[in-house]
């Protein structure tokens, strides 16, 4: 995390953007410029500036956004729940479909099921996100009309339910408004399904690889010789040893969806952290860009630590 903070700090300093001019404007007087330059601490050595940067980050102070004129921390708290909701739904679908697909592909190695699973994973890795997203919008929204369009809700339903968690699906359930909940489902199903496909491709591939390694072990042969059912051999013994490394795979996939959904959010006008960082970058709003980058890095670190902590619940050797 310290390494990430250092890199983001250096990027913020080498970008060909004058933060003082961004604040005071190009028509400001020399005295105003000097005062702002001193107030921002830019007259101090880089090491001192980096320490000040760490102090501000530790207190949640990312500066103010040039676009919204609000603290970046407030903007991130506003947009992050939308990305969290989208990535969570996508990961849940990806796990529920990807893990069984990987297990079946490993058990039926060399069969048509195995080949289909590998082709599905290959397509998931190969197809550009923006192309699949645009085709999905064209077919399911533009032609068939089965789903809602871009955005999280139809304009009629915006701000009907109070924002408690920032996630529309949960907030609408808490408010007991099923009409808003159904409308939110119609909007999230396509972008979440797109992210789920990429998550499924990664998780199914890794699950298949882990299972193939376990199915070739001697303890599997011993279990079968003892007369255990094939279901017990696969799910209790082989998959029991696969769960531990699979936790890390799922955690990294989840983190990847949280930070890698920039194109998906852009295509579907999803007001999440990806769209926020993209808009800020195009507008040279470096406070917002660096703040979003730090949050994404913190998510990766926390999910890695969380997956390590889960090991002791799934692996008796870690206790």
- pLDDT tens digits for range 224-262: 888 888 888 888 888 888 888 888 888 888 888 877 677
Average pLDDT, the chain: 83
Compare 107 and 285 and report the one with higher pLDDT. 107
For 87-110, write each residue's pLDDT tens digit: 899 999 989 999 999 999 988 888
* 72 contacts: CB under 8 Å, gap ≥ 6: 62, 63, 64, 65, 287, 288, 291, 292
Percentage of residues in the chain with pLDDT exceeding 70? 93
On whether the CB atoms of residues 113 and 197 are closer than 8 A, the answer is no
Q: Averaged over 202-221, what is the pLDDT?
A: 88
- State residue 18's pLDDT score: 67
Which residues does residue 71 pair with via DSSP β-bridges, in sequence order?
A: 64
**SS3 category, 280:** helix
> pLDDT class for 7, splitting at 50, 70, 90?
confident
Q: What is the mean pLDDT of residues 167-193?
A: 89
Q: Which is nearest to 116 in space by CA: 194, 191, 208?
A: 208
Specify the pLDDT at position 244: 82
Distances (CA, A) of 182 to 135, 264, 297: 23, 21, 33
CATH (one of 3.30.465.10, 3.40.50.10330, 3.20.20.140, 1.10.3720.10) for 75-318:
1.10.3720.10
Q: Which residue has the higher pLDDT, 312 or 2?
A: 2
| 317/244 Cα distance (integer angstroms) | 11
Work out the pLDDT band at 135, boundaries 50, 70, 90.
confident
Domain ranges of the chain: 2-58, 75-318
pLDDT at position 19 = 66
pLDDT of 16 above 80 = no
Rounded to the nearest angstrom, the gap between the alpha carbon of residue 263 and the centroid of all alpha carbons in its chain is 12
Q: Given this model, what pLDDT does residue 254 score?
A: 87
User: Which residues partner with 64 through β-bridges?
Assistant: 71
Residue 76: CB atoms within 10 A of its CB come to 21
Q: Is the pLDDT of residue 13 over 80?
A: no
Is pLDDT above 80 for 317?
no
State the average pLDDT over residues 77-90. Answer: 89
């Amino acid at each position: 995390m310290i390494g990430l903070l250092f890199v983001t700090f250096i990027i913020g300093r080498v970008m060909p953007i004058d933060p003082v001019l961004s604040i005071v404007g190009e028509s400001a007087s020399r005295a105003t410029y000097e005062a702002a330059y001193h107030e921002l601490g830019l007259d101090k050595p880089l090491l001192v500036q980096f320490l000040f940067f760490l102090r501000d980050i530790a207190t949640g102070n990312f500066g103010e956004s040039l676009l919204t004129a609000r603290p970046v921390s407030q903007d991130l708290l506003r947009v992050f729940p939308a990305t969290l909701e989208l990535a969570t739904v996508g990961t849940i679908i990806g796990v529920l479909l990807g893990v069984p697909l990987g297990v079946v592909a490993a058990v039926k190695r060399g069969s048509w099921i195995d080949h289909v699973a590998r082709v599905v994973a290959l397509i998931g890795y190969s197809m550009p996100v923006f192309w699949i997203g645009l085709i999905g919008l064209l077919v399911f929204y533009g032609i068939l009309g089965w789903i809602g369009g871009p955005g999280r809700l139809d304009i009629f339903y915006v701000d009907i339910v109070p924002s408690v968690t920032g996630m529309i699906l949960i907030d609408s359930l808490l408010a007991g408004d099923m009409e808003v909940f159904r409308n939110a489902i119609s909007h999230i199903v396509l972008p979440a399904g797109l992210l789920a496909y990429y998550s499924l491709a990664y998780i199914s591939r890794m699950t298949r690889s882990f299972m193939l390694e376990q199915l070739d072990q001697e303890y599997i042969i011993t279990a079968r010789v003892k007369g255990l059912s094939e279901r017990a051999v696969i799910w209790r013994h082989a998959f029991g040893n696969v769960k531990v490394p699979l936790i890390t795979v799922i955690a990294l996939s989840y983190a990847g969806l949280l930070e890698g959904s920039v194109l998906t959010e852009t295509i579907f006008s999803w007001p999440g952290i990806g769209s926020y960082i993209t808009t800020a970058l195009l507008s040279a709003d470096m406070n917002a860009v660096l703040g979003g980058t730090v949050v994404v890095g913190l998510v990766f670190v926390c999910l890695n630590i969380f997956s390590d902590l889960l090991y002791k619940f799934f692996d008796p050797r870690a206790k």
